[in-house]
Amino acid sequence: MAASVFTRTLLGHRLVHFSFPLSSKPQIFTTLFGVLVAILCLEWSRVLCYDCGGFLGFPPIEGCVKKPFPLLVEPAYAAYKTPAYPVMSSSITGMRASFSTQSLSPNDPVVSVDWLYSNLREPDMKVLDASWYMPDEQRNPIQEYQVAHIPGALFFDVDGIADRTTKLPHMLPSEEAFAAAVSALGIQNKDGVVVYDGKGIFSAARVWWMFRVFGHDRVWVLDGGLPRWRASGYDVESSASGDAILKASAAGEAIEKVYQGQAVGPITFQTKFQPHLIWTLDQVRQNIEGQTHQHIDARSKARFDGSAPEPRKGIRCGHVPGSKCIPFPQMLDASLALLPADELKKQFEKEGISLDSPVVTSCGTGVTACILALGLHRLGKADVAVYDGSWTEWGAHPDTPVDACS
């Protein structure tokens, strides 16, 4: 822990500290004067620039273009917090507002960076860095997280929080294992969860889908991810706290213990499995004949056609018979944010996909298939299934049928 603090100091991790005593409970103001003082103190804190320490209306440090960031530590006497949404005057007394989903469309699976910025410090808000990269990219997500992440975000290990009984990559873990890992991260069922990644929208969609499979609908993907957050001028933390690293490690340990039959720590997250959101190899095989679902493959057209080799050894080229190809980048704009609903609809319609019929998606390893599910969710289809094993399982299986266009 001491080494962590020392490293943060060397990295110049700028946090604002006060000598005011902290209190775990908001103080009750008995006079109007006290309330006014608290509001003034809070407004003063809201304009402190997290990057350079300057104040709006006063000259900042030269070259600073960052947006003001809320204080990480507020004085005890500034316990009054402006609600994130309107409340009835009769309910204000003794109330501390939690983040609001009232401004979010029930069909929209993403939130903007501005919305997250406004709600980042709410106690029931959890932010997860779920960055993951293809093996040939040679990028280390945990190292990148430690270098730069959204303040307060925890690291969600896509490869680690996975089924340990299979050699297939990052397959969905069991209910017990997921509950243990998420609980170790400090997440509860009452929490809202925002997931982001280092590309824009990529692996975050996978973790969004995982939470939904286990019955947690209060989950969103950060539109544009970390790149848009930084491009919008919002600051990042340049080192991980000891608590964040411990939680990430504890989540991995919890997964191991579950699969080894050992007892795990207290469970704060209860799962409610949604089997219609995940498909197996056998279901895909049956669908070739039954055609109950439209099967969409998120891989590139070249991989789908079989004209490009698979990135993993021992995997045949081609696609599942009867499936159609909509490469996942067609869901995203140039900044890797989710397209508007009207543009998404055009992408599916031009490939002959009916939004009135059931859909199952797949890809290489079950990651980018979730981006298709994300786009369909924005169009009101919340029941899209994902074939978890995807082409890595199908293409390696000795007796699964394969079509190829070349």
Sequence-ordered alpha helix ranges (H) in 292-367: 301-305, 341-349
Closest residue by Cα to residue 208 from 95, 376, 37, 394: 376
**Quick check: 127 and 116 in contact, CB under 8 A?**
yes
Q: 5 φ, ψ to 5°?
A: -65, -40
Angle between helices 369-378 and 341-349 (to 10 degrees): 120
Composition of the chain by helix, strand, coil, percent to 5: 35, 10, 55
Please give the Cα distance from 103 to 84 (Å, whole number): 10
Q: Is 363 a catalytic residue?
A: yes
Return the structure tokens found at 23. Answer: 């209190």
Sign of CA dihedral 142, 148, 153, 158: negative
Residue 393's contacts (CB-CB under 8 Å, 6 or more residues apart) are 168, 281
Active site residue: 49, 317, 363, 370, which one? Answer: 363
Q: How many CB atoms lie within 10 A of CB 276?
A: 11
The token pair at 163 is 């089924």
> Residue 153 burial (CB < 10 Å; 0-12/13-18/19+)?
buried
> Reduced to 3 states, what is the DSSP secondary structure of residue 289?
helix
Cα–Cα distances in Å, from 92 out to 34, 81, 99, 269? 16, 11, 15, 30
Q: Look up tokens 């609980």; give the residue.
A: 183
Residue 226: both structure tokens together? 């970390």
Cα gap 181→252, rounded to integer Å:
7
Please list the residues that pair with 338 across neighbouring strands. 332
Catalytic residues: 363
